[in-house]
Amino acid sequence: MSYLFTSESVSEGHPDKVADQISDALIDHFLAYDKNSKVACETLVTTGQVVLAGEVKSEAYLDVQQIARNVINKIGYTKSEYMFNGDSCGVISAIHEQSPDINQGVDRTLDETDFETRANAQGAGDQGMMFGYATNETENYMPLALDLAHQILKELADLRRDGSAIPYLRPDAKSQVTIEYSDDHKPVRIDSIVVSTQHDDFGSEEAMLAKIKRDIIEILIPKIKAKQKPEIQQLFNGDIKYHINPTGKFVIGGPHGDTGLTGRKIIVDTYGGKGAHGGGAFSGKDPSKVDRSAAYATRHIAKNLVAAGVADEVLVQVSYAIGVAEPCGLYINTYGTSKLDINDGELAKKVQQLFDLRPYAVEKNLKLRNPIYIETAAYGHMGKDYYVADKTFNKGLKNEITLKDLEFFTWEKLDRVEDIKKEFGL
């Protein structure tokens, strides 16, 4: 019997995502000026106010207030009528030094060139379990419902910034996509699409809602459809149920409409409810926190396994004890789609030999000490393209620096496919 599966996404202007982006901007600046920084930074945003809190061990001194304001302005909160404006909101910092009790198991002074000693000595920043997932139903090995939900909001943000086709858009928005699957887990059609977008107050509620619905269905959705492969385009049939701003007008939004906090959109950040999630947020954490680094590492493993043809769908779990380098365990589930003649338990043992999951090794192999994190903080940490670029910090100030050839989304590289094929004779 066929079934429905739903995933949602939120825009960069959603209050929780505003908080995530501020926290990750702070991480990037700390790492840019001191690559050994240890940071766990939380952000709260509400009407006219930003609160920064957390623990930091770093040689860098930052103007955290200005960093927060720059992020807010870049997102698009630049008008007084939004009741949250990067230039005028209050910014309170309650950031303090990291607990030495936590730091002692993570930050140990060792020869930087001695990889093995460091890898064995640097323990995990916390206990817990982390998951990575991949499926071959999309080109980027992400679940289709989530991938489409992200695309809807990225395109909506582009339309907002352009301002010509849909001039009334404001930064806050959410999307949701429900897909019907067949018995053999193949997408058959899109059942429903939900889009809620903040907007200017430009007329009667009835007139506003009619125009917004028309513009979303006739301008936004065709742009999304046109970017899909033919087999995905076929899922956009005339029977899709659209729910556009279903509660009515959405003028009051962003941090004025709802308080935002770092780490409240962890399913949007990962796989849209497919696979599993260990519960730990990513944004605001330096890579010594395995909540972040090990989630990237397990995505890297899952994606390379699927790309190598090991299985159509793979879930990878790794777990740690605080202060201990070696993982407590590695678990793999191929959901019955494995192409190998070994079971998933044996597959996990071989994968553990292929991939070094000690926290320091993960940091080094995926180059996670680079300031690459604000780019992850909206529209998902997984499924984006790997790329190399320069990045400038504190532009125009006396301490401006430009870091060359930074590698972004290293966990999305398909650089272990040949190793996996060789190991399993594929």
Residue 78 domain-assigned (yes or no): no
Kindly tell me if the per-residue pLDDT of 98 is higher than 70: no
Q: What is the mean pLDDT of residues 284-293?
A: 96
Give the length of the chain: 426
Q: What is the mean pLDDT of residues 306-331?
A: 96
How far apart, in whole angstroms, are the C-alpha atoms of residue 229 and residue 57? 47
Q: Which of 89-103, 298-312, 365-379 has the lowest mean pLDDT?
A: 89-103
pLDDT single digits (tens) 207-246: 999 999 999 999 999 999 999 999 999 999 889 999 999 9
Q: What is the mean pLDDT of residues 149-167?
A: 97
pLDDT single digits (tens) 3-54: 999 999 999 999 999 999 999 999 999 999 999 999 999 999 999 999 999 9
- How much of the chain, in percent, has pLDDT values that exceed 90? 91
Mean pLDDT of the chain: 95
Kindly tell me if the per-residue pLDDT of 385 is higher than 90: yes
Q: Is residue 341 domain-shared with residue 229, that is, in the same domain?
A: no
Residue 110 domain-assigned (yes or no): no
Task: Write down the pLDDT at residue 389.
Answer: 98
Choose the final residue of a domain: 252, 279, 300.
252
Q: What is the mean pLDDT of residues 53-71?
A: 95
List beta partners, residue 93. 52
Q: Which amino acid, 279?
A: G
Q: Is residue 202 domain-shared with residue 309, that is, in the same domain?
A: no
Q: What is the mean pLDDT of residues 338-350?
A: 97
Q: Is residue 132 domain-shared with residue 165, that is, in the same domain?
A: no
Task: Write down the pLDDT at residue 10.
Answer: 98
Annotated binding site for K(+): 42
Residue 55 domain-assigned (yes or no): no
Kindly tell me if the per-residue pLDDT of 105 is higher than 70: no
Task: Write down the pLDDT at residue 99.
Answer: 59
Q: Is residue 243 domain-shared with residue 294, that is, in the same domain?
A: no
Task: Write down the pLDDT at residue 125.
Answer: 81
Q: Is residue 302 domain-shared with residue 220, that is, in the same domain?
A: no
Q: Is residue 312 domain-shared with residue 248, that is, in the same domain?
A: no
Q: Is residue 303 domain-shared with residue 244, that is, in the same domain?
A: no
Residue 235 domain-assigned (yes or no): yes
Kindly tell me if the per-residue pLDDT of 100 is higher than 80: no
Q: Is residue 171 domain-shared with residue 132, that is, in the same domain?
A: no
Q: Is residue 216 domain-shared with residue 319, that is, in the same domain?
A: no
What beta strand segments (E) does 157-286 contain? Answer: 169-181, 187-199, 241-244, 260-261
Domain that holds residue 210: 3-9+144-252
CATH number at residue 181: 3.30.300.10
The tokens describing 255, both together, are 């941090």
Kindly tell me if the per-residue pLDDT of 113 is higher than 90: no
Q: Is residue 311 domain-shared with residue 420, that is, in the same domain?
A: yes
Q: 89 and 72 in contact (C-beta within 8 Å)?
A: yes
Task: Write down the pLDDT at residue 122.
Answer: 86
149 CA to centre of own chain: 13
Q: Is residue 306 domain-shared with residue 419, that is, in the same domain?
A: yes
The tokens describing 301, both together, are 């493993």
Annotated binding site for Mg(2+): 16
Domain count, the chain: 2
Residue 100 domain-assigned (yes or no): no
What does the buried/exposed string (b/e) look like for 121-139 if buried means 16 or more CB atoms within 10 Å of the residue's CB?
bbbbbbebbbbbbbbebbe
Annotated binding site for ATP: 14, 172-174, 249-250, 258, 264-265, 281, 285
Choose the final residue of a domain: 233, 252, 271.
252
Choose the final residue of a domain: 252, 273, 298.
252
pLDDT single digits (tens) 260-283: 999 999 999 999 999 999 999 999
- How much of the chain, in percent, has pLDDT values that exceed 70? 96
Q: Is residue 419 domain-shared with residue 291, that is, in the same domain?
A: yes
Question: If you ran DSSP here, which 8-state letter would residue 308 be given?
Answer: T
Q: 37 and 30 in contact (C-beta within 8 Å)?
A: yes
Task: Write down the pLDDT at residue 117.
Answer: 77
Residue 339 domain-assigned (yes or no): yes
Confidence of residue 121 (pLDDT cuts 50, 70, 90): confident
Residue 370 domain-assigned (yes or no): yes
Q: 287 and 369 in contact (C-beta within 8 Å)?
A: yes
What beta strand segments (E) does 67-127 contain? Answer: 90-97
Annotated binding site for L-methionine: 55, 98, 258, 289
Task: Write down the pLDDT at residue 106.
Answer: 56
Closest CA to 136 of 264, 294, 302, 262: 302
Residue 400 domain-assigned (yes or no): yes
How far apart, in whole angstroms, are the C-alpha atoms of residue 221 and residue 213? 11
User: What count of other Cβ atoms lies within 10 Å of the Cβ of residue 254?
Assistant: 26
Annotated binding site: 14, 16, 42, 55, 98, 172-174, 249-250, 258, 264-265, 281, 285, 289
3-state secondary structure of 18: helix
Q: What is the mean pLDDT of residues 104-129?
A: 71
